[in-house]
Amino acid sequence: MQNATETFPGCLVLSTSKVYVLRIIGKEGEDPQRWLFEECSWTIDRLRRILQIPFKQGVLVELEQSNKTHDELNSTITFLCVLQDLQRTLNFLLYVTDILLLPICEKTELTVPEYYTSSMHHLLKNCKSYQDGDTVRQLALFSSGLLRYEDVEVQLKLSSLIITTSVLAICNMQWLLPGNKELPYIKREQAMSNLIGVEHCRSSLTLNFLDELIGQEETWVLNFVSVNAVEVVITSIRSPWEELFSVPLQDTVCKSQDIPIIAGRHFGYSKRDQHIWVKNFKLCSGKLQSPISLSSFKSVALPLPALEVIGYHDFLPNPLYLKNSGHSVVINVNNHLRKELPYIFGGSLDANQEYEIDHLHFHWGAKNNRGSEHILNGIRYPMEMHIVHRNKIYSNLSNASNYKNGLVVLGIFFQLQEEDNESLHSIVSDLMCVQGINRAIKLSSPITLASLLPKNIDIFYTYKGSLTTPPCNEVVTWIIFPTPVPISFTQLNKFRSLSNGKDMLADNFRKLQNIGLRKTYVRRLNPLLIAKYNGTIFNAENLDWFWH
């Protein structure tokens, strides 16, 4: 946790000379170099202090920033390290004080500072269900959560759960940081007597409440850092609850593992789920939706300019992360170094507009006869890749998603064959490391976009459509290549080994949308056509007539 702004899974490593903060990306495996990355490090003399947070939830580490000139207030950086269990916190503190890490020992506080107790006392007095003599039984930090009540869903980042004999309260986290003036305040509270059931699945805990007086149900889904942490929370709830009701507390294990709570949108691909996209995301019922069924007979053939692809033969800049988003597997092209990224122009795109790569992802089926989103001449391919490009005039994807000329997506079909496609090797071999939802890994070998394109990009279909996932913004110029790229059965099966948090991640394609009044175009260069259009080179200025 850095400056109360970011949370990530990681490790704190202390040596006699340095303090390291490492970030965990992807699935932990045998080779730490594949999942452990250095976030930052300091020499040990910059360590100001280490202190314990209440209920052995972890430690706070304060470090001096090297750049003091800027602003004296910002001269320290604080990491709140939520440890996996209480024993670990204890072991960590014992280690730093027992072992001769002298410079560190002097800066370690083994007792929990007094201001934590007074802060929590202040909080309790503000709880509606607080009863005299109530004391805090547990303070548990959780990394993210989702609260559902009165038809609203509230997403939470790192926050604290305070449990007393009569109250369960979700509070902010900032008050744990020393020097922070913020007192703990209650984001949501429930009386212990309203709790009707507890479910837990791995490190996620669901608390179900019913307020019988007003007939209101409420659910809290809290994601902790470890299974152990969840068990400690359940234990601290159990005894006051059982005392209240004189029956054992119902604790269901993995009854309903919802798609884990991630910051972002919820949507599913089952028939029923797709039906409710429209309800939750109004744009999905628009008139220019994607995907559609394309046909060579119904498309207008035009001698369009070629699609120019620039930088497609260069390796995408490192580090490249492969991520299982739960809806797809995504390769994000980040541009920390502000290098020029591969981009496209020409074709049916607005003249003078360049579109830069943002990310690419895939849609595939559970069976070989389905998977692609678009259909071409009645064929549904087993997989379709989307290379999403953003108009360079917009600074980022979400900004570009607000404008009609915001995005261009290249659609590439895959066709099964016996032999592996060597160009997919890098991606496919790393899929094994992102089987769980939200897993990410640094791609082990570099890739070029050119290696993922079909041999022939001279012919393409183009039409105006939308994102094929919620919120379905109608801002996409689609360019679909009819020539498929090969993929082997073994390779495709690796995609099917991914999980969406509940089931196999597959059949992640949207149902076909109406073409409506739209026209679809196909670039062809036969002499007859060229003669027909008198050698006219089409560009956006003279294409306006044909889009509508």
Binding site for Zn ion (CB under 5 A): 386
Least distance CB 331 / Zn ion (angstroms):
12
Residue 278: Cβ within 10 Å count: 15
Identify which of residues 56 and 386 has a Cβ nearer to Zn ion in the complex.
386
Least distance CB 363 / Zn ion (angstroms):
6
Beta strands 195-201 and 251-253, pairing class: parallel
Residue 238: Cβ within 10 Å count: 14
Identify which of residues 175 and 478 has a Cβ nearer to Zn ion in the complex.
478
Identify which of residues 225 and 467 has a Cβ nearer to Zn ion in the complex.
467
CA 104 – CA 95 distance, rounded (Å): 11
Least distance CB 495 / Zn ion (angstroms):
14
Least distance CB 25 / Zn ion (angstroms):
23
First to last CA, the chain: 51
Identify which of residues 386 and 439 has a Cβ nearer to Zn ion in the complex.
386
CA 291 – CA 374 distance, rounded (Å): 5
CA 192 – CA 421 distance, rounded (Å): 58
Q: In the block, which residue shows the tokens 């939470």?
A: 156
Strand partners, 210: 217
Identify which of residues 386 and 464 has a Cβ nearer to Zn ion in the complex.
386
Query: 165 near 220, Cβ under 8 Å?
Result: no
Least distance CB 384 / Zn ion (angstroms):
7
Least distance CB 446 / Zn ion (angstroms):
23
- DSSP-based three-state secondary structure for 495: helix
Q: What is the dihedral of CA 296, 302, 305, 309, to 10 degrees?
A: -10
Q: Which residue is nearest to Zn ion (CB)?
A: 386
Query: 143 near 155, Cβ under 8 Å?
Result: no
Going by C-beta distance under 8 Å and a sequence separation of 6 or more, which residues neighbour residue 537?
Answer: 303, 305
Query: 379 near 450, Cβ under 8 Å?
Result: no
Identify which of residues 200 and 386 has a Cβ nearer to Zn ion in the complex.
386
CA 413 – CA 427 distance, rounded (Å): 16
Compute CA 58 distance to the chain's CA centroid, rounded to the nearest angstrom. 25
Q: Which of 122, 275, 327, 548 is catalytic?
A: 327
Least distance CB 405 / Zn ion (angstroms):
19
Going by C-beta distance under 8 Å and a sequence separation of 6 or more, which residues neighbour residue 444?
Answer: 34, 426, 429, 430
Least distance CB 382 / Zn ion (angstroms):
15
Residue 369: Cβ within 10 Å count: 9
Going by C-beta distance under 8 Å and a sequence separation of 6 or more, which residues neighbour residue 131?
Answer: 165, 166
Give catalytic status of residue 327 as yes or no: yes
Least distance CB 476 / Zn ion (angstroms):
10
Least distance CB 388 / Zn ion (angstroms):
7
DSSP per-residue codes, 209-245: EEETTTTEEEEEEEE-S-HHHHHHHHHHHHHHHHHHH
Identify which of residues 323 and 386 has a Cβ nearer to Zn ion in the complex.
386
Identify which of residues 200 and 390 has a Cβ nearer to Zn ion in the complex.
390
Run of H or E residues at 119:
helix 114-125
Identify which of residues 386 and 524 has a Cβ nearer to Zn ion in the complex.
386
Identify which of residues 460 and 538 has a Cβ nearer to Zn ion in the complex.
460
Radius of gyration from C-alpha coordinates of the chain: 28
Strand partners, 216: 211
Query: 294 near 377, Cβ under 8 Å?
Result: yes
Q: In the block, which residue shows the tokens 């204890």?
A: 90
Strand partners, 521: 300, 462
Strand partners, 58: 82
Q: Any idea which residues carry the catalytic annotation?
A: 327
